[in-house]
Structure 1
Amino acid sequence: MGSKVPAKESSVSDPDARAAQSGSEKAASNDASFGELVSTERSDKEGDARVRAKSDGSPLVSRAFPVARKAALTGLVLGTLVLIPYAHPSLLRFRVLSEGISFIPERGADEAVPGMAPPKDYVGEETLEGTTEDSQDRGAELDRPLTTPKGPIAQQQAPVPAAVLEDKPPISIDLPDGGLDKFFDKLIAVENKTPGAVARIVYYGDSIVASDFITGKLRRMLQDRFGDAGHGYAIAANAFKGWFHIDVSRKSSPQWKTSTCIGPYAEDSLYGLGCVSFTARTTGEWFMMGTSTADKWGKDVSRFEIEYLEQPDGGDLAIFVDGEQKGTLSTAGPAKKVKYHLVEVSDGPHKLEVKTTSDTPTRVFGARMERDVPGVTLSALGITGARARFLDKQDDAHWAEVLKAAKPDLVVLAFGTNEVGDGRMAFDEQGQLSKDPMGDYERNLKAVMKQIATALPDASFMLVGPPDMASKGDSGEGHSKPMVPVIIQHQKTCATELGWPYWNQYKAMGGSGSMYSWVQSGLGNPDMIHPTGQGGNVLGKWLYRALMEKYEAYKEKKR
């Protein structure tokens, strides 16, 4: 299939927000580690105040809005009565409009972490925000001590689940028959130390995955039990806000130009496994990837595999291992095609550096690190600001090819955080606001799921739902966003229809009200959306134990 340059989409999460986008973005904090699209609740209030201020005492609302005040007030009261039930799921039975219609932004959404620009809905490139610095030391955040909930409000909220201290998963994976059999069969081979057996996991998600806390803990625990077969795949540089991996050393120069599946888009829709294309047009641009020097995990590698684009008049790359040049790589070829360059090393600690040596366009995607021993790899591929449907912005044949090259035994999709911010809104195939938002949400998600399953007939798959998310009320307490359980229900419907396992992070955390308690305990960030390192430690441990619960049952069944 040819290029899939996406149709234009709304760049913010509701129609009113588009009108107020400029002012909202200027008010956004530049210090946030993550971000989601800002709402217009504050802008709406300011607009109402301006209308009142323009009134000159006439019976009309204003000269610009020539409607009788009494009629306007009556309409406002009636409209408010209709809309109140949409402010919280507990009022569901009082709703009179069909599902998918919602005119009220989620309360407090403007207080969710600002600072991330909306998806860039155009074809083009942008420069990295700066040098990619080594972030492997952030693994220490997983083991920081927890604090106890503070204050009477925290005590009134749902408590942090006892399983945090009991060291067990609070809920199991919803597992259809055969849903994880192929992955579990590979784990059995790995556990039996079958030569060449490697269980590979590709784990896509949004900003929750862009920070390698949950996935990093899961990777560590799987490798502790089954063996370390290498770190897996990582993108060449940090193209997304808040993106980092633990247990691997990564750096890059700052002048790479990027196109991503959330925009700005590549005209050819070729993004590699991690949904980012990196282009250099000058000599001396570089990226480095190597084994960890901070913790006991990720200490060894047997081979690096560079993922790049071969193209007409492509530039040249110099390949260095441990500071010594080991050869050159030309990216020139008769047509655009994803290619892989293997660099084999003796099993142990090593660093790979890739550097441009020409001024002609050179495109790379990332690199994979593996070992020649039985074990597990986990490639965490978070896309900050993404919805699951953005994965479909890749050229179909190209995405299928890079998925096959990754050889995963398990593919995980962990989206929903940004869909919650969208509210009851979705977009149709033309990128326009949908008349059937939640129906289109399901169709878009299932289309992505089907693409993955078609490309990987020998793999297992799983959906992981979003965590609880909250907004601050007027008194400062946290209120769970009412769209979280709505999105989860639609995700579960998709999982059931296509036979995918489903793990409910929201329910595991304690359900409605849990995120605020997690924040009070140090498990959640003050943005009340993202887990901290400690929270990622807990969620990663729970997911590991939930997987092992089903794995042990599967082994028992096979005996």
Structure 2
Amino acid sequence: MIKPFRSLLLLLYVGLLLTVVLYFLPPSIDLPNGKSLQFFTVQSLFETTGKQYADISGLEKKFTPAVEKTSAGHKRNGTERAALTDTLESRFKIQYPEGNDTLLYTFFRHLQGIPESKELVRAVHYGDSQIEGDRITASLRNKFQNRFGGSGVGLVPLQDALGNRTSLQIKSDEAWKRIRAYGPDYRKKAPHNYGIMGSYFNFSFTYAHQVAGDSTAADSLARQPKFITKKRPHVWVEFAKAPGAYPRDSRFENIKLLYKNPEAPVALKLQSPDTTVTIQLPVTTEPTVFQQPIPGNFKKLKLVFEGTKSPEIYGAALDANAGVVIDNMPFRGSSGTEFVRMNKALLQSQFQALNVKFIILQYGVNVVPHVINDYSFYEKQFYAQLKLLREVAPEASILVVGVSDMSRKEGEVYTTYPNVEMIRDAQRKAAFKAGCAFWDLYAAMGGKDSMPSWVFAKPPLANKDFTHFTPKGAQLVSEMLFKSLMYEYEKFSNR
């Protein structure tokens, strides 16, 4: 018979041993697949959820812009002119390689010359899911257009699979197929005819149609459904005014279609509520930009394709004739290292044809979950992308936006991933080596442990995935970036 006293001693011994193990156990262990294994620890018993995160209390006040109404009457932030006399803390300022603080002057010269040149100056905002749905870009575009003129949303895809774009509604035929240079759909053996959007679209005018089998037949095969080939009369995509868009988003003056049509002519109908225009897209083996004026105030525009063979389509641009426009180019799941997969000659011709004078690259959140001790490999890969972009767009200024803060839960509190600053530093080194400017979004947010402050703000500035910004947070980021750029522009103007 076991005595109660011995049982109690055994329990105390096991409890003491477990306490010692838990005391020395780390809060988490990083796994090879990029995930982490979380542990309960003794320390967590004494922790409170009141951890002091980064103080961002003055951030919104410092960067609160004027209020402007959207086309649906909703209030969204507008913009105010930033003066050189404005004080801007060093953490918000754009950084340059030593002795080379004129890297953005090419872009600035074109902005300054718009009243006389009457040109459309294009900027391209590449990024990952952080900018998806025109987040950050839409607000930034609106600020630039208010300051320098212009309208329209710029280059857009022919599909919006997520349906979360705030500036334009995109509906399209199910026949469309998008071939990407990034993400899980990337195939090495596919033709690498990726254009400026990192992808291209095509479709088939035929499809497999299922018909019922003969249910009365004795043969089991005859009772099975059959597939027959049928021809689609046309394939379409429709652009419509979005209720949450800025007023300038829907005031474009022309549409540009970027395509190559190597096999057979295609008839293109442009249908609006008021008129229909039919255009023949001739056979061409060279990338082409077709442009058509769009009269009146835009509400809806449908593109209908008719023919026997699909062209390769790289995107459609809804632009003004003059001013500035910023294209939203999200590469979902990308680390920003896929540009070298693209067709260099095609990329160069489209940058030139669209008059691209400014390129923004904003990546990093897909690198963060894979925690290692050295990111020199990422620095080399990212530098290769910047080097390529410098070669294909030699007249464009390039700005790298560093990775934003990103948190994971350790015990009962959230803390910055241990590699965020290493990734930020790798991006900055690559930018400086390639002769590009750099803006430190991580520092601008508040640095270490700033993401929880954005998540717990009232109203929230970031989502509870502790990675992505809310619409309000995205507007705040765009305001910080815009003011940083205008600070540099005023220095350029007053030099």
Scaled by the length of structure 1, what TM-score is found? 0.67
Label 1:398 to 1:446 Cα distance change in 2 as closer, same or farther (>3 A): same
Change (3 A) 1:187 1:155: farther
Aligned to 2:224: none
**Greater Rg over alpha carbons, structure:** 2
| Shift in alpha-carbon separation, 1:104–1:276, aligned structure 2, 3 A | closer
CA distance in 2, matches of 1:550, 1:285: 46
Query: 2-side partners of 1:314 and 1:423: how far apart?
Result: 51
Distance 1:348 1:423, change over 3 A: same
- Counterpart pick for 1:504 among 437, 440, 465: 440
Q: Is 1:174 aligned to residue 95 of structure 2? A: yes
Give the Å deviation of 1:346: 3.0
The answer as to 2:243 corresponding to 1:305 is no
Tell me which of 366, 374, 388 is aligned to 1:451.
388
Q: Does the residue aligned with 1:554 lie in a helix, a strand or coil?
A: helix
Relative distance call for 1:479 and 1:331 in structure 2 (3 A) is: farther
Alignment of 1:221 with 2:117, yes or no, is no
- Cα deviation for residue 189 of structure 1 reads 1.5
| Equivalent pairs, count | 404
**Distance change (3 Å), C-alpha of 1:343 and 1:499:** same
Does the Cα contact within 8 Å between 1:215 and 1:380 map onto a contact in 2? yes
- How far apart are 1:103 and its partner, in Å? 5.4
- Work out the CA distance in 1 between the residues paired with 2:332 and 2:338: 11
Aligned to 2:397: 460
1:285 lines up with 2:196 in the alignment = no
Partner of 1:30: none
Q: In structure 1, what is the equivalent of residue 456 of structure 2?
A: 520
- Are the equivalent residues in 2 in contact too, given 1:300–1:350 (CA < 8 A)? no
Q: Kindly tell me: are residues 288 and 180 of structure 1, through their superposed partners in 2, closer, same or farther at Cα, counting changes over 3 Å?
A: same
Q: What does the per-residue CA deviation read over 1:445-473, in whole Å, with 9 as the maximum and x for residues that have no partner?
A: 11111111111222111100111011122
Residues 161 and 466 of structure 1: is their aligned pair in 2 closer, same or farther, counting only changes over 3 Å?
A: farther
Cα distance change, pair 244–450 in 1 and its aligned pair in 2 (3 A): farther
Judge conservation of contact 2:344–2:392 (CA < 8 Å) in 1.
no
- Residue 368 of structure 1 aligns to a residue whose secondary structure is strand
CA shift, 1:286, in A, is 1.2
Higher strand share: 2
2:153 aligns with one of 231, 256, 271: 231
Instruction: Give, in whole Å, the separation in 2 of the partners of 1:353 and 1:492.
Output: 43
Equivalent residue, structure 2, for 1:431: none
> Which digits, 9 at most, give the CA deviation of each residue in 1:1-35, with x for residues without a partner?
xxxxxxxxxxxxxxxxxxxxxxxxxxxxxxxxxxx
Q: Distance in 2 between matches of 1:371 and 1:297?
A: 10
Aligned pair partner of 1:270 in 150, 170, 193: 193
SS of corresponding position for 2:466 = coil
Q: CA RMSD in A?
A: 2.9
Q: Which has the higher helix share?
A: 1
Corresponding residue SS for 1:346: coil
Aligned residues of 2:175 and 2:204 also touching (Cα < 8 A)? no
Q: Aligned pair in 2 of structure 1 residues 197, 292: CA closer, same or farther (>3 Å)?
A: farther
Alignment match, 1:406 = 354
Deviation at 1:154, TM superposition (A): 5.5
In the TM superposition, structure 1's runs of 4+ consecutive aligned residues that sit over 6 Å from their partners are 83-88
Give the SS at the match of 1:488: helix
Alignment of 1:138-217 (within 5 A): 153=49, 156-167=52-63, 171-175=92-96, 176-190=100-114, 193-217=115-139
Shift of 1:474: 3.0
Which AA in structure 1 matches 2:383? K
AA at the equivalent of 1:472: K
1:325 to 273, 276, 294: 276
Note closer, same or farther for the CA distance 1:544–1:154 as it changes in structure 2 (3 Å cut): farther
Name the CA shift for 1:473/1:351 in 2 (closer, same or farther; >3 Å). Answer: same
Give the AA of the match of 1:287: V
Pair 1:178–1:473, CA change in 2 (3 A): same
Name stretches of at least 5 consecutive residues in structure 2 with no aligned partner. 1-20, 39-47, 65-87, 206-231
Partner of 1:442: 379
Distance 1:163 1:108 in 2: 34
Instruction: Name the % identity.
Output: 23
Superposed displacement of residue 291, structure 1: 5.2
Summarize the Cα distance change of 1:182–1:86 in structure 2 as closer, same or farther, 3 Å threshold: farther
- Could you tell me which amino acid in structure 2 is paired with residue 341 of structure 1? F
Task: Identify unmatched segments of 5+ residues in structure 1.
Answer: 1-76, 89-101, 110-151, 426-436
Q: Distance in 2 between matches of 1:108 and 1:537?
A: 34
What SS does structure 2 have at the residue aligned with 1:357? strand
Question: Within 2, Cα distance between the matches of 1:474 and 1:202?
Answer: 41
**How far apart, CA to CA, are the structure 1 residues paired with 2:404 and 2:116?**
37
